[in-house]
A and B are shown apart, each in its own frame.
Chain A
Amino acid sequence: MTRKPPSQKVNRLGLPMTEYKGLPSTLCKGCGHDAITSQIVKAFYESAIEPHRVAKMSGIGCSSKTPAYFLSTAHGFNAVHGRMPSVATGAVLGNRSLVTIGVSGDGDTASIGLGQFCHLLRRNVPMIYIIENNGVYGLTKGQFSATADKGAALKTGAINDLPPIDCCTLAIEMGCSYVARSFSGDPKQLVPLIQGALSHQGTAVIDVVSPCVTFNNREDSTKSYPWAKEHEELLHQIDFVPHFEPIEEVEYEEGESKDVEMPDGSVIRLRKLERGHDPSDRRSAMRILEDTRGKGELLTGLIYVDPQADNFFDLLNLGDRPLAQLGEEELRPGPEVLDEVMKSLM
């Protein structure tokens, strides 16, 4: 481990962590979203991504404000409510060399944006999609979102009588090739999950329980901080080994750990806990989500991954050069082409 950043000062690019920070947050003190922001900063810093290569996308909501709070030298786009996936898809198509991260809320993703979310996954657009899931609409002051639990109560006393949408189950169903769940209060797990997502070449969904301390922090809420802290069940312990570091010898005993090799040569190293879940097995991923639903557990970890999933750019037969950088020479066919077409119409 020769290249571990010396005393946390600068990363492999020679950049200090401050280069990965953004403006000061304007969210409520203690909001789960701010914790996630810190993990994003850390993950991008540790993975040594050049900030200017990043496109930060979001919709509308408290969560969607967060891209302003990290990577201040990256371009950001705060789009309309729920329709960030299409804007991100366009941006990715326009410039495939960008590292694209979208941050969304549960209302943004699972209510108004459910359709676009599903279609993003179907297309396997290369980007990280973080859902900051608090089961409530924060920005509009505390109405239920589509991920709120049945029977959950609001501050106002209103009871939710509809079943929740599980974004992870849905993502797997839609063909998503990287599906993880985490908790904003678990930096040890979230950082490697984001790093793994950065190495993934399709859509990587990370559903993060992110308590809204203002509107949804009742003890019994499954999206509150104390509940999540208490009920978190790790699927495995996760390490992320970047591709530029020599991959270590397996340090755990056979059968207890699994390396998931990513297309760029990096490795997500999972140390299995007693469940023995294999995240490359789609059926077992569905089963484990099904099993834990309603059991009073917050199952976290890398639930499903398929590093070899169809590549969006290959499907479109795109060349390596970003479309946005092509010049007139490449884009405008010559006069002989117009001539040929005109002749065919005469």
Chain B
Amino acid sequence: MSTTPSQPVAEESQRERRQTIVNDFSIQVATPNGSGSQSSNNVLMRSIFQMGIPVSGKNLFPSNIQGLPTWFTIRVSKDGYVGRKKEIDILIAMNPQTAREDVENLEPNQVVIYDEPLKLAKIRDDLTFYPVPFTDLAGQVISNVKLKKLVANMVYVGSAAELFGIDMEQVEAAIGKWFEGKPKAVDFNVKAARLGAEYVRDNLEKRDPYQVKSMNATQGKIIIDGNAAAALGCLFAGATVMTWYPITPSSSLCETLIDYLNKYRLDKDGKATFAVIQAEDELAAVGMAIGAGWAGARSMTSTSGPGISLMSEFVGLAYFAEVPCVIFDVQRVGPSTGLPTRTSQGDVSSLYYLSHGDTKHLVLFPASMAECFDFAGRSFDLAERFQQPVFVASDLDLGMNNWMADPFDYPDKPYDRGKVLTAEDLDKVEQFARYRDVDGDGIAYRTLPGNDNPRGAFFTRGSGRNEQARYSERPEDYINQLERLARKHRTARKYVPQPLLEEPEGAQIGIIAYGSTDVAMPECRDQLRQEAGVETAYYRIRALPLCDDLRDFVERYRDIYVVEQNRDGQMADIIRLEVGENSPKVHKIVHFNGLPIDARFISDAILEREKSVGN
């Protein structure tokens, strides 16, 4: 379904144009990769944000360093919807290579601001065109050819500000913030933005409906990306050994964390209370994290799908040998190299079962900036409590895009270091058996290397063992150990982040989602209610293993839609296994083109099926 009704009668569209649409539209900026548009896009988004209006920004970029097209989309939403909106209302066309195609793809009545020499106005007559000589204007600010290109981008910020009513003061403040400490850059970028505004004022007449008007919905909020939020979470969680191998889209998590660690984690003598190693590959990265976790340090690594595949054998070792470590998976599109710079939730089943044999892991699914921060912290507690690898499954959309968020709460709960026996503790226990289930929860007690009580030593290995950690191939020892691990996994259901439920009266169908798919849900559920009177219940999974109340939720509703961003409906399959006889009720809605899922896609899919079942 398209959002524009199918009658572009000239008269009607004229009328539509005259109506103003306030704080509810999307802007897409098309630039060549490497042209420095990051600054201008950020400034544009921030200026609107600073006017109190909810915004979200998404960067769509190719797996390439320079030259290929990139698109940055800013969604302005008075209702606070931050998911992707498929339709573009305003296009800022700066990329000669894609400009024609970009314009051809627009819905009727939309707006194009473009670099005048591109002569785009000739292509269609059902759009509103604003030509601005960006490069010429940039030339008035600066003569250096390379800088001119960068500055041209800031000219469009000024032009857009003038056209849509964005406060110039806020634009200048945003420039000041972006180029903090570089007064020269601030100066010529401000000049460029002013020139862009001036040109529009003197030469163009506004003919589109879009407007920005100050609101009060962003006060005290921050703008951050999920990788930075997770990095901060790690900083406060006391990450001490961080090992990594570069891969998009996870690199910025480590790089940001390195900056924070260097700034905030030196002791009073200026010595580091952390160690960071850029490993030779993901095998080594996770191996080091496991070694450090074994030695008792809070350790972590971060990667994406291809790295997860490489880590498989080691993760199985850590699961079976019961060694804590945290692994961030910022998911991108697979299989294989897939689309390295596009988003996906395609690693769900591989994360849950990673490695050979009966392995099952703890996987957390943050869905917001607050959760990227919070789950990063909780993952270290869980890893130490359960003595096993814990995955945090983020994705490119969360990790690398700009999101509005409330400032994070300081995590003042003490660290959970799990069941670790000190030398003194050992004196009190009758007999130390590393792999014995003393408390019935499946979690055994461990000691750390360096423990000077001779009873504390044990040998860690990936091969069969008995409760005393001695090598054993006896069937009963093996069963005993595997069953304990399963028991531990069940215990974890109560410790992992619990699902969030919304169950309004009158709902007959339930939706289940997780991770970044969640950001489309408020809008999707509003659409279903407002357009078709369909009330929905919502169950947001926040971790694997699934929690016990999932069965009841599925039981309570006529139909269940599991919405996720991979081809096979990986989570839906896990859910079906769990809910057994109720599985025919569970339907998959999958979106896997590499772009973040949008509300319309989900509501259309649900409505279509609801229609076909005659409801």
Contacts and interface: CB of A to CB of B under 8 A. Distances in A.
A76 interface: yes
How many chain B residues sit at the interface, stated as a range, is 35 or more
Contacts of B240: 94, 323-324, 326, 331
B295 A116 contact: no
B449 interface: yes
Question: Could you tell me the dominant secondary structure of chain A's interface residues?
Answer: helix
A8 interface: no
Interface string B252-288: 0000000010001101011111111101110111111
Interface stretch (B326-334, B453-461, B551-559): B453-461
Given A86-B279, A90-B295, A95-B449, A331 B272 contact: no
Given A86-B283, A330-B273, A346 B221 contact: yes
Nearest to A113: B283
A78 B449 CA distance: 14
Interface residues of A, number: 56
Contacts of A97: 450
B235 interface: yes
Given A93-B292, A333-B264, A83 B314 contact: yes
A342 B407 contact: yes
Contacts of B270: 317
Contacts of B317: 79-80
A345 B222 contact: yes
A188 interface: no
B481 to A, nearest CB: 16
A342 to B, nearest CB: 4
Interface string A73-110: 11111111001011111111111011000000000000
Interface string A53-86: 1010100000000011000111111111001011
B454 A73 contact: yes
Contact of A90 (B272, B283, B293): B293
Given A333-B264, A338-B236, A345 B291 contact: no
A325 B447 CA distance: 13
A83 B289 CA distance: 12
B294 A90 contact: yes
Contact of B283 (A51, A89, A116): A116
B232 interface: yes
A91 B279 CA distance: 15
Contacts of B291: 57, 77, 86-94
B407 A93 contact: no
Interface stretch (B124-132, B133-141, B408-416, B533-541): B408-416
B272 to A, nearest CB: 5
Contacts of B224: 345
5 contacts: A73-B457, A94-B241, A115-B284, A317-B272, A324-B450
Interface of A: 50-53, 55, 57, 67-68, 72-80, 83, 85-95, 97-98, 115-116, 119, 123, 316-319, 322-326, 328, 330-333, 335, 337-338, 341-342, 345-346
Which 4 A-B residue pairs are closest in the complex by CB-CB distance? A90-B291, A94-B295, A86-B287, A331-B238
